[in-house]
Structure 1
Amino acid sequence: MKRKILTAVSGCCLGLCAMMFSPVPAFAADTIAITDQRATPSYWTKHTINGDKVLLTQQEISTINRTMRGKSKTLVDLAAYNIHQSAAAVKEMILAAQQDYRGEETPGEAYDANGKQVPTAHFKQVKANCNLEGLTGNITGQYALVTERTNMRLLPTADNYFDDVTCLHYDNLQATALDPAEPVIILHTSKDGAFAFCQARHYTGWVSLSALAITDRKHWQRYVNPKDFLVVTANKKVVSVGGTCTVLFQMGSVIPLASKKLQAHDTWLAYVPVAVNGVLSEATVKITDDDSVHKGFLPCTKNNFIKQSMKFLGDEYGWGGMDDSVDCSSFTADIYRSMGIEIPRDADQQELAMPQSLKFDGLTTAQRFTKVKEAPVGALLFKPGHVMMYLGQDAKGNPLVIHSASSYFTFDKGKKQKHYIRKILVSDLHYQNGKAVETIDGLTSAGFCAK
């Protein structure tokens, strides 16, 4: 979800609201979404050869995960992370996390949730809240766990910075969302004491301290490298904690088990972190053994790529995890993680990290269609600012993809119209971006872990 806010890319996980055209962008009556039988998992699993063959063992996946960590600095091995950092190193991390706002003195054209322009004074106050002057000497990080689905922010504020008053779904300060039971390392706290600057397994940013439970390394490691665990295989999973509250997990979330044996009434006993005065106090919860969870990661198969992706079909597009949903790159990351494959959070880093890839540079449109058909089911197709998952060829030989799409463009007698669709959908590769370039012609690579 790397932010170059003014990039004009259809269906991407970038801030497309910044590009305004006449007339005002609207939801399209005609859509790029395919809604016939090709938008069902059974269509693809029936046509996929050796769909249930295991492509990678968990040991092979562990090796691939190490390889990808070497390719993308956004991925870290939390278990081996050095919690002792210099103040200068942490300062650089905080500044880097600001992305496009680094070095800026004003917020530019930014609007709050009420449609009012964000004043420069507010922006300076938020930047000052980073508390950089409080970084001195050597820093020792704290171990913590996420207790509820929460936002990770580029700057220490919950206030929205929308770049268009008519489009309140794209907050430029939103980095990503973290699910319950995610382990993090706290490296710094904001001046107002409300936010912690954290290193997660795939991102750095500011998290509300109210959503964190500080703990010791022993308990923290139970969540970093659990021996026995459930992985969430549904698009979303709500778990009741103590009968008093619920927490929301998304696909790929890992929940440590309190017992490796299935309990009475087909339930699992699992740990969910809760905070008492900011300190960890684990709750033991019962989770029904159904198709929303799986003990351990799912086998890495073509059919599981298909089935997992289709569970999101029709869900709302969620920029940076907003609206309790997924954008293009968190969609693909969640699918892969349900099988134990840890790819980066942002599309550009996913492309960089892929162990194997097919390149499209210098190819004609016809050659591109030939090349994309060489990609295996589950491969990720990249274009600037966007990522899609390849499903294969339909009965007529058309390559189709599933993706979390934000928008696309149509052109009628030279008149450009932007259409917000904001859904997870199946489409072909003909839809256009703001420069009238079809998606097939904008592809840069297809990345995958195994054929």
Structure 2
Amino acid sequence: MILASREPRRHWPRRLTLALALGLLAVPVFTQAATPAPDPGAPLPYVIGLHEAYLTPDYWAARLDNADAPILDRAQIQAQNARMRAEDSHIQDIAALPAQLSATQVRDSIGALSSWPKRALYDEKGQAIAPGLRTAIEANLDLDAVPAQVAPSYGLVVKRAALRTFPTRQRVFSTVGDTDIDRFQESALFPGDKVAVVHRSADDRWLFVHSERYSAWIEADAVASGDKATVLGYGAKGPYRIVTGATAHTAYTPEEPRVSRLQLDMGVRLPVLADWPAAEPVNGQQAHASWVVQLPVREADGRLRLVPALLPRSQDTAADYLPLTPRLLLQQSFKFLGERYGWGHDYDTRDCSGFVSEIYRSFGVLLPRNTSAQAISPALDRLPFTSKDSKAVRDRAVTDLQVGDLVYIPGHVMMAIGHVDGRTWVIHDTAGGSWFGADGKRVQAHLNGVSVTPLEPMMASDSVRYIDRITNIQRLRAKNP
């Protein structure tokens, strides 16, 4: 679909001003504080315009008049998520899958993902992927074995696990020497995530699964199979612990290695066994300094079992999703600062779209997985751009960005954090980045992690700015009938 050029009346500030005048919007307009600006601290080398204080969330929160005003309250977030599930085709309701799927439906789902790239692919040693290896990987899809009717089975993910394009651990790359971006790496699922299994690989080591936000291949040993009601009912009732740190870990336990030092990523929600007897140890350790949570494990036969585990109180967790305010958005995003970039959640970290979706997940907000889907989601307050939009229109939209706004260019997303001295600043999980140095030459930075940068100087080439490439800006705000 080709988007028409926007009319001036669709520009956000006018729209928001009108809505506020009519008393229809609860969301506040974020304005710069009238109090003196905080000290930016010492300038830092290399990244253009960066100062020491810019690397702290408190600096940006102190510049706001309304850092603690709710953007959306809990009821509005629930309504937002309901809208996301109803309106965005990238969000899947696995509970609504029919009892039987046709072979064509299953093959089409797999074929939509597992299509061999047209570009040349190389292994970690820079050798081209041999035709025989390609044949073996494609044969492992085992599409001819799909029966005429497939009854989906259900399971819970028991450990952080990769979602892959093909049922293989083989890493492949499109550029010799660049082994950071594995083209078969799609995403990841986390402990407690719910999946519907619709197919197995020929070697029986991989499952093709549907989850709420993605369909892909996952290693079979990462999924425990259970009846539909148990799987879909897991964690349906509180109390809970929500992971609010970049990551948290369960306590070490030799008695139950399956839940020992288990990585839990931001936004993961675990049910708490609140009635656990105070005097009864959990896996050899008394529980007074921890939360007793319930986690899924996989038995030797692949079946699901729910077991207690200890989540130390020292870990960064909360009893409920965080209130969605500018201050807390800043705090949550900066908890990832400096984390290595992980394409498709590789390296046990995350990429740009995973970064923003996991920040928002700690507030209970559901977003699609990939930038291409997030950027056009009809469930958000979208401001689209086309080639017809002038530099002035784009610059004005950047100037009007608010904390938490998501800025999309092809293949990348950034989150706005504030404005300083005529520049708009973003935090983003980025593999690269470039800008012009003092000598007039373009600096090709290898940031390769969660970084804070100004938006205006960022260049996509010698003549094209990031701002010139913006395709969409997405904002969360209250919507009214």
The TM-score normalised by the length of structure 2 is: 0.81
Change (3 A) 1:304 1:414: closer
Q: Which residue of 2 aligns with 1:256?
A: 271
2:296 to 256, 273, 285: 273
Checking the alignment, whether the CA contact within 8 Å between 2:240 and 2:271 is kept in structure 1 is yes
Checking the alignment, whether the CA contact within 8 Å between 2:249 and 2:315 is kept in structure 1 is no
Checking the alignment, whether the CA contact within 8 Å between 1:78 and 1:201 is kept in structure 2 is yes
Equivalent residue runs for 1:401-440 within 5 Å:
401-409=426-434, 418-429=444-455, 430-434=457-461, 436-440=463-467
SS in 2 for 1:47: coil
Within 1, Cα distance between the matches of 2:463 and 2:430? Answer: 17
Change (3 A) 1:411 1:56: closer
Checking the alignment, whether the CA contact within 8 Å between 1:223 and 1:255 is kept in structure 2 is no
**Amino acid of the structure 1 residue aligned with 2:140:** N
> Structure 1, unaligned stretches of length 5 or more?
1-28
The offset of 1:153, in angstroms, is 0.3
Q: Which residue of 1 aligns with 2:399?
A: 373
2:210 to 199, 206, 228: 199
Checking the alignment, whether the CA contact within 8 Å between 2:199 and 2:209 is kept in structure 1 is yes
Q: Which residue of 2 aligns with 1:219?
A: 230
Aligned-pair identity in percent equals 28
The offset of 1:418, in angstroms, is 4.1
SS in 2 for 1:89: helix
Q: Which residue of 2 aligns with 1:116?
A: 127
Q: Relative CO higher for 1 or 2, CA cutoff 8 Å, sep ≥ 6?
A: 1
**Amino acid of the structure 1 residue aligned with 2:453:** S
The offset of 1:435, in angstroms, is 5.7
1:46 to 40, 45, 62: 62
SS in 2 for 1:196: strand
SS in 2 for 1:34: coil
Within 1, Cα distance between the matches of 2:197 and 2:252? Answer: 25
Checking the alignment, whether the CA contact within 8 Å between 2:140 and 2:203 is kept in structure 1 is yes
**Amino acid of the structure 2 residue aligned with 1:374:** D
SS in 2 for 1:420: coil
The offset of 1:267, in angstroms, is 2.6
Change (3 A) 1:69 1:435: farther
Q: Which residue of 1 aligns with 2:333?
A: 309
Normalized per residue, the structure richer in strand is: 1
The offset of 1:35, in angstroms, is 4.7
Q: Which residue of 1 aligns with 2:412?
A: 386
Change (3 A) 1:224 1:39: same
**Amino acid of the structure 1 residue aligned with 2:261:** T
Equivalent residue runs for 1:78-117 within 5 Å:
78-98=94-114, 101-102=115-116, 108-117=119-128
Equivalent residue runs for 1:7-406 within 5 Å:
30-31=46-47, 34-98=50-114, 101-102=115-116, 108-223=119-234, 225-240=236-251, 242-243=253-254, 244=257, 245-259=260-274, 265-277=288-300, 278-290=302-314, 292-353=316-377, 354-361=379-386, 362-394=388-420, 396-406=421-431
SS in 1 for 2:261: strand
> Structure 2, unaligned stretches of length 5 or more?
1-44, 279-286
Q: Which residue of 2 aligns with 1:11?
A: none
Change (3 A) 1:152 1:435: farther
The offset of 1:383, in angstroms, is 1.0
Q: C-alpha deviations, 1:350-390, integer Å up to 9, x for none?
A: 01115202334444334323222333311101111110111
Within 1, Cα distance between the matches of 2:453 and 2:189? Answer: 28
Moved more, 33-42 or 293-302: 33-42
Q: CA RMSD in A?
A: 2.5
**Amino acid of the structure 2 residue aligned with 1:257:** V
Within 2, Cα distance between the matches of 1:32 and 1:75? Answer: 38
The offset of 1:33, in angstroms, is 8.1
**Number of positions where the alignment pairs a residue of Structure 1 with one of Structure 2:** 417
The offset of 1:290, in angstroms, is 4.5
Moved more, 402-411 or 300-309: 402-411
Checking the alignment, whether the CA contact within 8 Å between 1:72 and 1:352 is kept in structure 2 is no
The TM-score normalised by the length of structure 1 is: 0.86
The offset of 1:407, in angstroms, is 0.9
